[in-house]
Amino acid sequence: MKMRLVPLGSLVPALLLGGCMGTENRGLESVHQALVSRSDYALDLATAGGGLAPGEQRRLVGWMAALHVGYGDRIAIDDAGMPAARVHEQVGTVIAGYGLLLGDDAPISAAPIAPGTVRIVISRMKATVPGCPDWSRDEAHEFNSNTSSNYGCATNASLAAMIARPEDLVHGRSSDGTTDTAVSGKAITAFRKALPTGAQGMKTESTGGK
């Protein structure tokens, strides 16, 4: 059996090249950015006499509780072009308990709406940073001035987890021209009224001995 010897000098470039493989972060703007996705949840409710049928409002309450509806969710009614003021009032009353307002436009759904029913649609957005953590690049053999392949993962993943309205990462929010000083100063007022941590003295614990 013949053995072929490979010169050591030809292996060095290959090893160095392998060390430089992985995600490239060529600047201070990380390639790991938040990705915003949207999910729509729909519930069809029966109507009767211009409003929701008996028991349907209670079913709506249970459905929303199961979905843990909260700030950032958008809720709209798809009534197939036949608006009923009573239905909007009943649904609006339910979602008001969550501190939300009824939206104007409902997302387009593939399934048709049956006659005598309305569709309640909850749109929920979620922000994630795919590919994190990322340690695919060996920093020990970095010759192209790249930052770490994991650069930006911690900051952007934390931002994606904390932001209350993920859609704000896409197009931001515009001012409506009004400012509520009571809301903007609420945190400052709470801080000023809070008692100092040592206001009630130091706590002592008995060891049971004399």
Q: What are the DSSP calls for 91-149, one per residue?
A: HHHHHHTTT--B-S-PPP-SSPPPTTEEEEEEEEEEEE-TT-S---S-GGG--S--B-T
Q: Which helix (H) or strand (E) holds 58?
A: helix 56-66
Determine the pLDDT at residue 16: 44
CA distance 103 to 106: 7
Q: Mean pLDDT across the stretch 12-34? A: 69
Q: Mean pLDDT across the stretch 84-93? A: 89
Helices 85-96 and 56-66, interaxial angle, to 10°?
40
Other C-beta atoms within 10 Å of 25: how many? 20
Sequence-distant (6+) residues with CB within 8 A of 166 are: 34, 36, 72, 125, 126, 127, 160
Q: Mean pLDDT across the stretch 194-204? A: 75
Number of residues that this document lists for the chain: 210
Q: How far is CA 195 from the centre of its chain?
A: 34
pLDDT tens column, 105-162: 888 877 888 888 999 999 999 999 999 999 988 777 767 777 888 999 999 999 999 9
The answer to whether the beta carbons of residues 129 and 35 sit under 8 Å apart is: yes
Type of residue found at 69 = V
Determine the pLDDT at residue 109: 79
Would you say residue 21 has pLDDT above 80? no
Would you say residue 4 has pLDDT above 60? no
Three-class SS state of 74: strand
Determine the pLDDT at residue 8: 46
Share of the chain above pLDDT 70, in %: 80
The DSSP letter of residue 67 is T
What residues form DSSP beta bridges with 25? 147
Determine the pLDDT at residue 96: 92
HEC per residue, 145-203: CCECCCCCHHHHHHHHHHCCCCCHHHHCCCCCCCCCHHHHCHHHHHHHHCCCCCCCCCC
Type of residue found at 38 = R
